[in-house]
């Protein structure tokens, strides 16, 4: 089953949970800022992101979409689009089952696109309120990536079962400041390609619903496509509007 079909199933499954709920069950933030990259692209460009969270007693639904691009002398020098959808069924206050789909299209990564669908178990192992917690999750699923060029083995696709490990640590430094660390590793069980991502961020409220955010992201691909760097980094400074 294709990734787009998987995402459609997730969206259709989550839709009944969203409709009929009060607006207070929804939270979101829109982000716009400057992004400095290294690795497959060495650029300073504009990035945008939209994050949404819908949470009720037994369900939590999370959606995130981001993009960045730049041009130099009428030539595109960076172009990336990412999206993910996740739904959690909460067994109790701390334990949950998750279903997640993700899609990424990076013009300069060596891939035409990358996609995964995973499911598994998560646990909020430490909880000090809504703004300070530690989530750990483990799961399994499937990876389908399309290469831009045929690789050394004569293949133009990567298809394999994967194991996924992830963590998110949020800590409220004060009423107006938040530290966040996100980690994830997806381990290929056939080709043994390991894709790991890290995001370290600091967010501080400026006024009202407006905040400043400083973030540093690293992505490492153990078996990157030929001609592509294994490690990409991003440093961003941005404004966020919460709603």
**What digits encode the pLDDT tens for the residues 209-240?**
999 999 999 999 998 887 788 898 889 999 99
Q: What is the pLDDT of residue 15?
A: 46
Q: Is the per-residue pLDDT at 164 higher than 70?
A: yes
> For 3-19+27-242, which CATH class?
mainly beta
Q: Report d(CA 167, CA 196) in Å as an integer.
A: 12
Residue 73: pLDDT over 90 = no
Contact in structure between 230 and 23 (CB atoms under 8 Å): no
Supply the pLDDT for residue 41.
67
pLDDT value, residue 147: 86
DSSP helix/strand/coil, 18: helix
At residue 37, the pLDDT reads: 78
Of 138, 98, 100, the residue nearest 117 (C-alpha): 100
Q: Which two tokens stand for residue 149?
A: 């060029």
pLDDT for residue 50 is more than 80: yes
**pLDDT: is 164 or 128 the higher one?**
164
pLDDT higher than threshold 90 for residue 40: no
For residues 166-194, average pLDDT: 95
Distances (CA, A) of 242 to 18, 70, 187, 195: 19, 26, 34, 30
Q: What CA–CA distances, in Å, run from 39 to 166, 188, 207, 221? A: 23, 22, 35, 11
Reduced to 3 states (helix: H, G, I; strand: E, B; else coil), residue 5 is: helix
Residue with the bigger pLDDT between 155 and 90: it is 90
């Amino acid at each position: 089953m294709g990734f787009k079909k998987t995402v459609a199933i997730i969206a259709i499954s989550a839709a009944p949970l969203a409709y009929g709920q009060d607006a207070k069950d929804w939270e979101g933030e829109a982000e716009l800022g400057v992004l400095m990259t290294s690795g497959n692209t060495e650029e300073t460009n504009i990035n945008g992101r939209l994050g949404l969270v819908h949470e009720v007693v037994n369900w939590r639904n999370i959606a995130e979409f981001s993009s960045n691009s730049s041009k130099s002398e009428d030539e595109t020098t960076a172009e990336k689009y990412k999206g993910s959808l996740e739904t959690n069924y909460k067994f109790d206050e701390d334990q949950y089952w998750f279903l997640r789909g993700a899609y990424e299209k990076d013009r300069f990564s060596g891939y035409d696109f990358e996609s995964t669908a995973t499911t598994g178990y998560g646990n909020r192992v430490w909880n000090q309120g809504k703004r300070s917690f530690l989530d750990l999750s483990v799961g399994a699923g499937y990876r389908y990536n399309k290469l831009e060029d045929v690789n050394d083995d004569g293949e133009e696709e990567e298809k394999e079962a994967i194991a996924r490990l992830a963590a998110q640590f949020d800590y409220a430094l004060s009423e107006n400041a938040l530290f966040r660390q996100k980690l994830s590793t997806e381990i290929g069980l056939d080709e043994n390609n390991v894709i790991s991502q890290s995001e370290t961020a600091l967010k501080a409220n400026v006024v009202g619903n407006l905040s400043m955010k400083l973030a540093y992201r690293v992505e490492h691909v153990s078996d990157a496509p030929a001609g592509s760097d294994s490690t990409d980094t991003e440093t961003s400074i941005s404004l966020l509007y919460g709603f």
